[in-house]
Amino acid sequence: MTAIKIMAVAPAAQGKPRPLFLEVLCRSLIILCVALSVVLSSVAVCDGHWLMSERRMFGLWFFCVVENSSTAPNCSRHVGEGLDPGLSVCRSVFSLAVVSAIFGLELLVISQVSEGQASSRRWHLGTWLVLLAAGLAVGGVATFMFLFWKHATLLGFTLTFWCQFTATFLFVLNGMAARHIQNMEAILPSSGDVKKL
């Protein structure tokens, strides 16, 4: 009699839908972290002063020389040393990364207020846009460090550079997490029955 009860309960347990709360929580955390990444990256790119070396400050937009503490820094858009073309590419890459992340974030949010295939498609596209932003940001950070490796020291990088570094890490992490959740949808049973209750 006990064996019959166990056999009767087992199939029901196997057909149990995945927890809706856990799925909503994970998606909400991903969206929140992507939003935080967009803010950090936007602040870092707009400020642009990323590296200090002796009396010089290297950034995405300006190169400054501080002669002494009593005078204003002398800033120019031209770095010299043949680095201007590479820095222009670096600026473009970071700007595209922020734009891609903003559109990806918007699609991730909209996917949560829609249902069915439309929601899945928006989440899918938003995920790929976040991953595109991650790839562009990684390429931008690597390019910046390659351009200024002669002047770079661990303590020379400014707070805004570390903001961009953190944003890049979060783009990668959340893009992979969003992609993983999407792949799990094809494996796990649907939670549509739970939503209807």
pLDDT value, residue 71: 67
Per the structure block, which two tokens stand in for 160? 């805004």
pLDDT value, residue 6: 47
End-to-end CA distance of the chain, in Å?
32
pTM more than 0.85: no
* Residue pLDDT tens, the chain, 197 long: 454 444 444 444 454 455 577 888 888 999 999 999 999 999 999 987 888 888 888 888 888 887 776 667 777 787 777 788 888 899 999 999 999 999 999 999 998 887 778 888 999 999 999 999 999 999 999 999 898 888 888 788 999 999 999 999 999 999 999 988 877 765 555 444 434 33
pLDDT value, residue 55: 80
| 21-48+84-186 topology per CATH | Butyryl-CoA Dehydrogenase, subunit A; domain 3 (1.20.140)
pLDDT value, residue 140: 93
DSSP-assigned states of every residue in 64-118: EE---TTS--EEES---TT-HHHHHHHHHHHHHHHHHHHHHHHHHHHHTTS-HHH
pLDDT value, residue 12: 47
- Nearest CA to 54 among 155, 145, 140, 124? 155
What's the distance, CA 31 to chain centroid?
A: 10
- For residue 56, what is the enclosing H or E element? strand 56-59
State how far the Cα of 105 lies from the Cα of 39, in Å rounded to an integer.
11
State how far the Cα of 11 lies from the Cα of 17, in Å rounded to an integer.
12
Per the structure block, which two tokens stand in for 155? 């303590």
pLDDT value, residue 67: 73
Give the residue extent of every domain in the chain: 21-48+84-186
Per the structure block, which two tokens stand in for 149? 């490796």
- For residue 137, what is the enclosing H or E element? helix 116-147
* Helix, strand and coil percent figures for the chain, each rounded to 5: 70, 10, 25
- Nearest CA to 142 among 97, 77, 79? 97
pLDDT value, residue 82: 77
